[in-house]
């Protein structure tokens, strides 16, 4: 399954689809970092609004993606986690610790703009 990745200035926006298989996620892990390298992006927004379940593999993959992207000096923000999904995740102990999160795409962009404005 192809995950659309859009370029928005210095940022990349990846929109995860509803039913991503483990194979899809594995491909994404490497693929996203490759895109960061290719476009010299400063941050990636991963939009999971369409995901109505998040299992431990998906959660772990997201954390790994964020860590890998950080090794390239870039930031990752996960946006669009649904209330029910968030509730289920914390009950399973999947807290996405160390990864920035925001309510939705708009908030994610605002967060990044704020952050990079301060660095300048």
Partner 1 sequence: MSKREITLKDSGPRSNPTVDLARSEESTELLRELVAHLRQNRTQLREEWVLRISETRLLTAMTKEEIFAEATSVYDSYVEALETEAFEALQAYARNLSERIIPRGVETHEVVGIVLLLRDVLARSLFAKYQTDFKKLNRILDAYEPAANRIANTVAVGFVQERERVIRQQQEAIRELSTPVLQVRERLLILPIIGVIDPQRARQLTEQLLRGIRTNRAKVVVIDITGVAAMDLTVANNLVQTVEASRLLGATVIVTGLSPEIAQTLVTIGVDLGKMNTVGDLQGGIEQAERLLGYKVEKLAEPR
Q: Which of 15, 107, 113, 116 binds partner 1 (CB under 8 A)?
A: 107
Interface with partner 1 includes 39 (CB under 8 A)?
A: no
- CA of 110: how far to CAs of 26, 55, 68, 70, 115, in Å? 29, 28, 23, 19, 9
Mark 69-88 with x for binding to partner 1 (rule: CB under 8 A) and - for no binding: ---------xx-xxxx-xx-
β-strands 11-15, 5-8: how paired?
Answer: antiparallel
Length of the chain equals 120
Q: How far apart are the first and last CA of the chain?
A: 38
Closest approach of partner 1 to the CB of residue 84, in Å = 8
Binding positions for partner 1, rule: CB under 8 A? 78-79, 81-84, 86-87, 89-91, 95-96, 101-104, 107-108, 111
């Amino acid at each position: 399954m192809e995950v659309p990745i859009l370029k928005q200035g210095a940022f990349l926006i990846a929109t995860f689809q509803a039913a991503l298989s483990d194979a899809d996620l594995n491909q994404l892990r490497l693929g996203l970092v490759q895109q960061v390298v290719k476009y010299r992006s400063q941050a990636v927004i991963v939009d999971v609004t369409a995901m109505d379940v998040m299992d431990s593999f998906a959660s772990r993959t997201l954390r790994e993606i964020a860590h890998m992207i950080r090794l390239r000096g870039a930031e990752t923000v996960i946006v669009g986690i649904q209330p029910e999904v968030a509730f289920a995740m914390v009950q399973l102990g999947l807290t996405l610790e160390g990864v920035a999160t925001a309510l939705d795409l708009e908030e994610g962009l605002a967060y990044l703009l704020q952050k990079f404005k301060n660095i300048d």
